[in-house]
Structure 1
Amino acid sequence: MMAIIPATWDMYDMFQAVIQAPAYHLIFEALLIIWIFKLMFSKAYAPNKTILTEKEKEELIQEWQPEPLVPDVPDDHPVLQAMNNNIISGRPDKVMVINGKSVVNMASLNFLGLLGDESIEAAAQKALSKYGVGSCGPRGFYGTMDVHLELEERLAKFMNCEEAILYSYGFATIASAIPAYSKRGDVIFVDEGVCFAIQKGLIASRSVIKYFKHNDMDDLERLCIEQQKEDKRVPKKAKVTRRFLVVEGLYAKHGDICPLPKLVEMKWKYKLRIFVEESFSFGVLGDTGRGVTEHYGINIDEIDLMAACLENAIGGAGGFCCGKKYIVDHQRLSGLGYCFSASLPPMLASGAIQSLNIIIDDPGMFGKLRNNCTLIHEKLSKIEGMRVVGDPVAPIKHFSLSEPSDDRDLDNRSLEKITQEAMQRGLALTPARYLEHEEHNLPLPSIRIAVNVKLTEEEIDTCINIVADSCQAVLSKSS
């Protein structure tokens, strides 16, 4: 009897606890008990298996058609035709030989005419004899040679920066630099007119991308104000969110210059980190070719990161980034194009060093280039039925139909015919090419015209006459 009393008291205590427990607690425990019983007695899900006969299996196999590894490309595709029909013999200098015919070259991006410089070739040949053809390794794995360090030092000194980092491929430079800093959750404000390399870097960063209208500072400010409101709404997230602003110094797809003074003002006003891609402004803009910062007279320390390729004005290969030492050093550990690509061939690095020597010793070439750009821009704008877009001092110009149709393919064919007609008359031009289904903001079809500092006024007049006659011959037939 005495042994039963403690058990009775325990049950009494449990009963009292149940009575005194809050109602929500009892309901929650009851639901848990019901859910446990449901799991214990419910049947495991087993999908219905369809058993096919041998005849049905054979029919399915016969009906299956594999998708092609690559989509069909027509034999008359303009790019394939250009590869097969326009074969260059020798250097693509101011005058080059295509299919055995000598033509003036306004297609290659050889703005400073350094491609055929004998002193650059001599420096490259000397490096070839000393180092061999390639490095056969990334910079961090026995791919760094003294000539790479010398070029980085020279570039940093030329751009008045603390340090520079060298990439072996121009396209990969900005495409690697962006994801090295901006990560998932960060916000990047980007001009919708940026080049394809920047677009690939944005995708790789997995950040929140906010495009603003091309060179439209009011639209950029609108996006910044919206972001400020979002930050106030979620302050905890705002503390760990970094904000970047990515633009081009000279836009490859439009031929115009970014409004850098206003961009710098926006940087400080809205606490942004600004990246400037200068592949088409480095070695072009400014009194000494130092790019868009020199063009506007802005201290380069206002720019968090500057990137450019050495494949246009310099006439070499690869690219570089420059800025503060702690910023550049970060890319040596996280810039994928730097860490995992074989380093720039030493002979190309030696050629780039000699190109810098030429630029420093002859700053007058930049005034000559600006004069040629302005003159060509003025003369192109007078051709009937066509228009030239971009800044007059830009060495890359887009020449398009003044009244484009609604059919993009038709406009592309018309421009292609103009370039073919110009080729027959002794001038090499090229239509602007894009990956049309991958570009964020596809510009209008155009002919891309590259200005060379070596062109004389007489040669410019001859080239403009060829362009005008070619346009008239093609447009008169289509009208």
Structure 2
Amino acid sequence: MPLASPLPSPMALNRPQQSPSIFKKRSASGLGSGSPLPSSAASYLSALSQADARARSVSPTSTPALSLSSSVTSSSEDTILHEEEEDALMNSNADGLLLPTRPPNSAQVFSTVHTEFGHCANDKYRTTSQHKLGTPLPTHVEQDPPYYILLSTYVSYLILICLGHVRDFVGKRLSPSSYQHLMPQHGYAPLNSDFDSFYTRRLKTRMDECFSQPVTGVAGRTIMLLDRTSPDYNHTQLFTGTRTRALNISSYNYLGFAQARGGCADAVEESIKRYGISSLGARLEGGGTDLHNMGEALVANFTGMEDALICSMGFATNSTIIPALVSKGCLVISDELNHASIRFGTRISGASVRMFKHNNMKSLESLLKEVISQGQPKTHRPWKKILVVVEGLYSMEGTLVNLPGVLELKKKYKFYLFVDEAHSIGAIGPRGRGVADYFGVNPRSIDILMGTFTKSFGAAGGYIAGSKTIIDHLRVNGHSGAYAESMTPSVLTQVVASMASIMGVAPPDVPSKEIVHPGPVASASLPQWINLPLNLASGEEGTSRLRRLAFNCRYLHSGLIKLGFITYGHPASPIVPLLLFNPGKMNMFHKMMKQRQTPIVVVVVAYPATPLVTSRVRFCVSAAHTKEDIDTVLRACDEIGDVLDLKHGSVRGKDRWNVEQVIARAAELGSNDD
């Protein structure tokens, strides 16, 4: 796939003159861009081996900086292959010989895919994601901006609403054809509600440029954007035919397993050869293939539970499993910021629902006292069961559940606990086992653990883990087992390979009975045809990724605060929300980040996903990011924050640092010593 089109993108026309990108090899040695392509497979392999030998002798400590104006050292040039030439080399040659589909010994050619995963060997930029025992979890305090920011935000919405209604009133009379989809026609009622579509037509459409950005390729450390333009104010989008490579801080690729090459990708390729790409017939009458059974056993081992059930979709895991747990006469107590899948599953279960203030243990205890003493409405009979549902990591706020506080209340009031770890599993904790690992509690003190594979594991689907009695019940009564399609073998292989890489694989001579949670996975628990490279099988690479992710999270979170921004969330969270407030600043922030010399793609979030006046940008940090990548994001935020007037945090005066101070003291900000 070419990294640059012959035609410049619209945003590239406005950029200052740039020096050659580091994505192109500039040296004349080996496989350089100025060198002719090898004429045979043998010469290709020889040149690649020489380049690897030179790279190993120099031992580079980090991926070159992403900036398009960065200089590239000679040691890096030997191992950075132009992706377009590499694709050509791996598919054909002048002699018509069949070349390998990927370079040999993938552990040695990491720098050929530095766009997917940035490598950094500096131990200063690592820390451990772990809660210090005996210390209380810091309470999340939402900061309010100055009154003029709130006032201007409300006025902005007021103007949009008033002008929108005026335009609708006039438009329905002067241009009725534009509103046919909102008006009755030929005796049929409109499928779209005029009121419901008002927000979409009058606000979201104005900002559609920063939503649903089309991309191609691997969503790793960088991502390839398909440039587009709109001739009719975002009603339609047209592709320009050009592409832009951007730093990707918008994907849930927490551990960087979104890679097209490497040990996990090799395992997935092998699974396709063995099982095919379809999931048809993989699950019959509630049963499954050997790969499904191994996957569920591995998930149970990873989470520290007795058994586990795998579903093919994360949203469906909650929405189809919760109705199998509770029904009429039961009570679900839900955190007010729980995900839509939890709300939907609870709604269709028929159970009564009560909500408590976000992560507020006093609110939860007060509600528990009330519902236990009063019982069911009207009859006041005792509840059949009470299920408290919380999330491990809240995706819009970046806050962690106060798990020790919830467990204390569980012992006192005897309710069942359901923890949704969609964003926390694999991302936090010294061993990546989620919130129980982070707080150092026994996972079996939690009744039900739910999680997804779409974030840390680079795959798809979800799981439910718990006691064998509960899981057996859910296999029969949960709708996902009976009606949903099973997970495809290739996706399941990615789950198994990435999870085993985090855990590490025990030597074959170690019996499974001697391995206790949270230890490595037994060799016999994995398919024999999955051969992970030594750095993955040993767990060394997985541990390194966890520690790099922990550092990157704390560094970005603390750095933004020191620069004066208002942020939400816990320092250990890989989701770092930066508050924008005014809806007009959402599109501007997105544009200005993407139009920088080093383009950066971000995710902006607004109502109804967030409260009306707390529009925000969510940075999604990954272990694939280098320290220099976070530096790039901080510099961009510092400059854009001054232009858009975003620095309204509580850090003021001498406590506020400039961006160079933040970057120079990165090791201090990213440590877990606070």
Q: Structure 2 vs 1, CA of residues 259 and 455 (structure 1 numbering), >3 Å: closer, same or farther?
A: same
User: Counterpart in 2 of 1:432?
Assistant: 605
> Residue 434 of structure 1: CA displacement?
5.9
Task: Note if 1:341 corresponds to 2:521.
Answer: no
Unaligned runs of at least 5 residues, structure 1: 1-61, 405-410
Letter in 1 for 2:602: L
Q: Structure 2 vs 1, CA of residues 83 and 147 (structure 1 numbering), >3 Å: closer, same or farther?
A: same
| TM-score normalised by L of structure 1 | 0.78
Letter in 1 for 2:462: G
Selected match of 1:97 from 202, 219, 224: 224
| TM-score normalised by L of structure 2 | 0.56
Secondary structure of the residue that 2:375 maps to in structure 1? helix
> Residue 304 of structure 1: CA displacement?
0.5
Q: Is the 8 A contact 1:110 1:452 kept in 2?
A: yes
Selected match of 2:562 from 351, 362, 382: 382
User: Counterpart in 1 of 2:58?
Assistant: none
> Residue 288 of structure 1: CA displacement?
0.5
User: Counterpart in 2 of 1:323?
Assistant: 466
Secondary structure of the residue that 2:354 maps to in structure 1? strand
Selected match of 2:283 from 120, 126, 139: 139
Q: Kindly report the root-mean-square deviation, in angstroms, between the aligned alpha carbons of the 2 structures.
A: 2.5
Letter in 1 for 2:592: E
Selected match of 1:395 from 569, 574, 579: 574
Task: Note if 1:68 corresponds to 2:153.
Answer: no
Q: How far apart in 2 are the matches of 1:104 and 1:63?
A: 48
Deviations 1:240-283 (A, max 9, x none): 52111000011112101111111011112111000000011100
Q: How many residues align?
A: 401
Deviations 1:121-178 (A, max 9, x none): 2211211122121212583437722111111111111112111100000111122221
User: Counterpart in 2 of 1:157?
Assistant: 301
Q: How far apart in 2 are the matches of 1:142 and 1:204?
A: 23
Task: Note if 1:249 corresponds to 2:392.
Answer: yes
Which stretches of structure 1, 4 residues or more, deviate above 6 A after TM superposition? 232-236
Q: Structure 2 vs 1, CA of residues 433 and 65 (structure 1 numbering), >3 Å: closer, same or farther?
A: farther
User: Counterpart in 2 of 1:177?
Assistant: 321
Q: How far apart in 2 are the matches of 1:233 and 1:92?
A: 50
Q: How far apart in 2 are the matches of 1:314 and 1:254?
A: 22
Counting only pairs closer than 5 Å after superposition, residues 78-477 of structure 1 correspond to structure 2 as 80-82=208-210, 86-99=213-226, 100-116=243-259, 117-136=261-280, 139-141=283-285, 144-231=288-375, 237-238=381-382, 241-360=384-503, 361=539, 362-384=542-564, 386-401=565-580, 404=581, 411-425=582-596, 426-432=599-605, 435=608, 444-475=614-645
Selected match of 1:77 from 205, 208, 220: 205
Secondary structure of the residue that 1:211 maps to in structure 2? strand
Secondary structure of the residue that 1:283 maps to in structure 2? coil
Secondary structure of the residue that 1:189 maps to in structure 2? strand
Secondary structure of the residue that 2:201 maps to in structure 1? coil
Deviations 1:208-250 (A, max 9, x none): 1110000111111111111122139999821x52111000011
Q: Is the 8 A contact 1:182 1:207 kept in 2?
A: yes
Q: How far apart in 2 are the matches of 1:349 and 1:96?
A: 24
Letter in 2 for 1:373: C
Sequence identity, in percent?
27
Secondary structure of the residue that 1:449 maps to in structure 2? strand
Q: Structure 2 vs 1, CA of residues 264 and 342 (structure 1 numbering), >3 Å: closer, same or farther?
A: same
Q: Which structure shows the higher helix fraction?
A: 1
Q: Is the 8 A contact 1:138 1:340 kept in 2?
A: no
Q: How far apart in 1 are the matches of 2:221 and 2:433?
A: 23
Q: Is the 8 A contact 2:252 2:455 kept in 1?
A: yes
Q: Which has the greater radius of gyration? A: 1
> Residue 421 of structure 1: CA displacement?
1.0
Q: Is the 8 A contact 1:138 1:338 kept in 2?
A: no
Q: How far apart in 1 are the matches of 2:329 and 2:377?
A: 16
> Residue 452 of structure 1: CA displacement?
1.0
Q: How far apart in 1 are the matches of 2:381 and 2:210?
A: 51
Q: Structure 2 vs 1, CA of residues 118 and 429 (structure 1 numbering), >3 Å: closer, same or farther?
A: same
Q: Is the 8 A contact 2:324 2:474 kept in 1?
A: yes
Q: How far apart in 1 are the matches of 2:612 and 2:468?
A: 36
